[in-house]
Amino acid sequence: MTSTLTANDAIEQALAEEMRRDERVLIFGEGVATKRRALLAEFGPDRVRNTPLAEGIIAGTAAGAAAMGLRPVIDLLFAPFLTLAMDAIVNSAGKLRYLSGGQFEFPLVVMTTTGAGWAVGAQHNHNLEAMFVHAPGLKVVMPHGAADHKGLLKAAIRDPNPVMFFTDLALGFTPGEVPAGEHLVPLGQAAVARRGDDVTLVSYAKTVGACLQAAEQLEAQGVSAEVIDLRTLKPLDEASLLRSVRRTGRLVVVHEAAAPCGVGAEVAAIAGEKAFAALRAPVRRLTGPDAPAPASWVLEQAGVPSADAIAEAVRALLPVAATA
């Protein structure tokens, strides 16, 4: 049985189910009890609580709670605020399981929102996911569909390692069909959002939708595009990526974050190192600009890879006869 929910509602459903299932799960952070009143009413202020606007203290408290056997979920609101909590997340939560020789677990979920679409300016909009992909000991999730928001969050809460859970601001209000009850999506497993034979489009979060739109445009021109939704950025599903690239022979990687040292660079490197013989054209990346996000909605949108730009990049990789 399924119901139509926004991604934000799917997240709240996942939180409620996991808190009912395991009394060690609690959520705290900036405005949590204010915006999640249903959770507060059901589970009380000991398990659902607002905090001061002090990201380092929130993350440090969560790392300590995880070390003591709880399963905290924290909400730090906007992704740029993560920079104020880097020590607790990267140096403590990410490394202490290794430093303990595996004696301790750190089941901690850090939730934050990111992505263009709300013109909130550079200090509230910055796609930082690649920074945390680079940090050992952390897992990084960035879903697209509402059902995946639920399934991946439930899996993240149950994972014994710290998980960064990035939610795109615009996708939070996008509805989709969400399974009721137990619905888990394994971390590290990509999804084939659309089958195709001529080119592989790899993306995550909001730009998956742009890739799907581009695939429809290309289909009208006789070009079959496969769309891979990574869902989890770390661990990355190399097997699904390579399986598709070896079949299509062409790869375009799309994401909203800037290009330098981004997830697209890692995907391109994997394809170049492990599927080079299958490639029939250079790997292409379409990304956001290496610049702070503007507060102007029009300028902000100009930096997000569009369906038209993706389709044009694909056509540039194909023989002239295929695009005629």
User: Which residues does the annotation mark as catalytic?
Assistant: 55, 124
Distance (Å, whole) CA 149 – CA 165: 9
Could you tell me the two tokens for 324?
């005629």
Helix (H, G, I), strand (E, B) or coil at 198: coil
Q: How far is CA 155 from the centre of its chain?
A: 14
Q: List beta partners, residue 105.
A: none
Q: Of 224, 166, 169, 168, whose CA–CA distance to 194 is shortest?
A: 224
Q: CA 297, 299, 300: angle at the middle one, nearest 5?
A: 60
Cα torsion angle, 305, 132, 161, 268, sign: positive
The one-letter amino acid code at 9 reads: D
Query: Are 199 and 250 contacting, i.e. CB atoms less than 8 angstroms apart?
Result: yes
Backbone angles phi, psi at 257, to 5 degrees: -65, 160
Distance (Å, whole) CA 280 – CA 283: 9
Distance (Å, whole) CA 279 – CA 316: 15
- Number of C-beta neighbours around residue 94 at 10 A: 23
Phi-psi region of 59 (alpha: psi -120 to 50; beta: other; left: phi over 0): alpha
Helices (H), the chain: 7-21, 32-35, 37-43, 55-67, 86, 96-99, 129-133, 146-158, 207-220, 238-248, 263-274, 297-302, 307-317, 320-323
Distance (Å, whole) CA 77 – CA 8: 13
Distance (Å, whole) CA 20 – CA 311: 45
